Structure 1
Amino acid sequence: MGNMATIRRDIGAGHHFIFDDTLVKQPHAEMFNPEFWQQQNKITGQAKGRGTTIFIEHENQRWVLRHFMRGGLVGKILSDQYLFLGVERSRPFEEFRLLEHMQSQGLRVPVPVAARIHRRGLIYRGDLITLNIPDSQDLHHVLCNQPLSEEAWHKVGHALAAMHNCQVYHHDANVRNIMIDSDKEIWLIDFDRCSKRQGDSWKQSNLDRLLRSLHKEKAKNPVFHWEEKHWAWCMDGYRNAVSR
């Protein structure tokens, strides 16, 4: 897949769009507004994170709409406001571009449909639409219900290695950002604040973040089918797939 992104600017209204014109012909501001989809009865579900993620069924496509929200203490003050440093340096455009790059490398990540930022002076707000990963559940949900096989843990390791082989750093590699579909294939999601990086020194911290996440969920959930030996299986898969 080549670089198929199209950029359109509606400067008068302060909107900037980037989109795959094979999936959406003409993006508009309303399509990034949950109320627009609610009025058409096209919302099929939602998920709570830092903000709310909306699931939409539209023209035989299943979309995931995410509004960019800040986390932590800054988020309590600025919530969804970001300093404008240029369109291509905005969080939605950067994530769209990164997903496009990983798609071109054959990684199992969400297909980017469209992103937009709405700029007012030095501040912007933004949104991203991706294709939903069909018949999938996040790793947290799966492990609350059943253990993964050794082969499945190897596949988790393979997915992490494939990401690192593309020199992509994941800012928040945790159990909720790993998806498993009905064919037991592994997908990685939520690439906000992620980026391409040089070298290898940062890769271990990505893996450590996931291990901390597993320990945390094990302590928090009365039933969570994970043990240390499963991490060893995951790392076996990672080492077998990582580029030398």
Structure 2
Amino acid sequence: MAYIIITILLLFIIYKILKKEKKQPKIVNIVEIPAHWYPLLEENVLFYKKLNTKDRLHFKKRIQSFLNSVEIVAVDFELEDLDILLVASSAVIPVFGFNNWMYPNLKEVIIYPDYFNDNLEFASKSKNKIIGGLVGNGMFENKMILSRRALHHGFANKTDKGNTGIHEFVHLLDKLDGTIDGIPKALLDNENLVQWLDVVHDKMEAINKDKSDIRNYGGTSKEEFFAVASEYFFERPMLLKRKHPELYKMLDDCFNID
């Protein structure tokens, strides 16, 4: 009889322990933004610098959210605070107009120290190192590769209408419908998509006839045009609005930000 009572008591104690453990919240590692990062944002990210106080706070929260969902890995160099901030800023800027939205198709950003080639080689002796970034497929699905040099140049040069980081994250937005094709189905309704394709055709034709200030790479394909034009939109918005008002309006509709 005593044995039965002891057994029941032990089972009751185990039940209580298991029930208590079940109620315990899972411990999650949260990336906190240190205060010394804020001057780095002010100094290096023009988009952030132009925001009002309320939007700056929102931008910081969006950076924190991104860093808690995506891993950033450096290859052959030690990752610095500015590297992390520039990657996160590149991610936040194109989706800043979408409240708290982030990238479901990205898990990891891999940073190489320099430009790389088609074989992902970046050593000094490697040939044809002209790639600044790419969105992965196959074994690199849900991953992005960025050149550190290209990433920093995109934010350091504030007048060239280019930004490699933004370019690659726009490709990710383009890929939301399953393919990178320069047709932002996830961002525009069907009626506007028809108008978008007309604008793209005209602008690419002007690029390829050397009659446009939009970067030549935008004339190679619709997907590259979308990414290149988006760089222009975020880097030199007023210039784009003056020189290409229809394109500016379409991109403003895409990104929901003025």
TM-score normalised by length of structure 1: 0.29
Greater fraction of residues in strand:
1
Q: Report the structure number with the largest CA radius of gyration.
A: 2
Q: Which has the higher contact order (CA 8 A, sep 6+)?
A: 1
- TM-score between the two structures when normalised by the length of structure 2: 0.28
Q: Which has the higher helix share?
A: 2
